[in-house]
Structure 1
Amino acid sequence: MDDKTEKNMNLLPAAKLFKEPAEWPLIPPWWLVPSTDAAALLNVKPATLSSWRIRGYGPNSYPPMYLKPTQGRPLYYQYGELRSWAASALGMAYSFEDQCTDFFTEVFPVLNQGSGSLEGRIRTFERQYLDDRERVLRGAGGNSIVAAHIHTLDAFFERQPKRIGCAPLRL
């Protein structure tokens, strides 16, 4: 590698991100992931993610003012924001809306067939997920979302921070 290429890679740290990319789990793009998970998904150390945040580089963290205080006050990143940022760092585009469409297609396809707003479809998914989750936890099957998806989502759902009041989703 010549000196110019190496210098450009140092200016664009994202160029090194995906030597061995993590597999992106199938979770809603509007859900939040803690900074340690965000770093793992981007294949960087948490300290690198922190350094990027301080320097104004990297994905935006979720504003902590919308979250109930917790011990240690961990930072969170919106999953869709991480994926959009990672795609743009590689010169591609993957909008939040496209991520929602892909997610709904895989997990709850009926939501892609309606004409409602994205925010309305997100709320519909959340209500149905909670209902189906309760059924699956009691040993019954989900009505609209298959049990396998419920189990996959549950690991991330349990770690969602609590929002203050009706904290807005950043769409």
Structure 2
Amino acid sequence: ALFDSLNLLDNVAFPLVKGRVPVASLPRKQKKKVSSAVFDILEKVGLGQAAFKVPAQLSGGMKRRAALARALVEKPDLVFLDDPTAGLDPVTSSAIIDLIYNLHAEYGPTMIVVSQDLRRLLPLCHQVFWLHNGKIQFKGSVDEIPSSGYSELIRFVACRFDIDAKCTTVEGKD
């Protein structure tokens, strides 16, 4: 989530400066370094021109892109994304998934994405984990899901993604 009272520059810079915002109040050398990093990532997510806008001035998709920028500005090895397309229209959702894919390709972090937007997300996944009753029940590739034997997983995925399974009861390990 973004801080409502901070513009995008300060929101994205927040982890870099350990919350010492606004960026404008930083010593000159640090301000230049932080601003450069923030403007670079904002450009990559298509928000370079929005650096001085506050969240209330942004669309839902712009807010998601800003949150991605803040998550990646420190170039972490691991990024958690919790339903990054929730509440967005289909076109914006596709753009966000494309952006996640491109940022992963450029920065290379391991990304753990929790989502029900399987139609857009599964084609990009290397590994799928299925949690059921609080435990990992399945770990494998997308291609392994139809033969997993977990009927509930197969139905869940088949109803949202084009795999060779039906949205009906399948006998299995459930």
Q: TM-score, normalized by length of structure 1?
A: 0.27
Which one has a larger percent helix, Structure 1 or Structure 2?
1
Indicate the structure (1 or 2) with the bigger Cα radius of gyration: 2
Q: With CA pairs under 8 Å and 6+ residues apart, which has the higher RCO, 1 or 2?
A: 1
Q: TM-score, normalized by length of structure 2?
A: 0.27
Which one has a larger percent strand, Structure 1 or Structure 2?
2
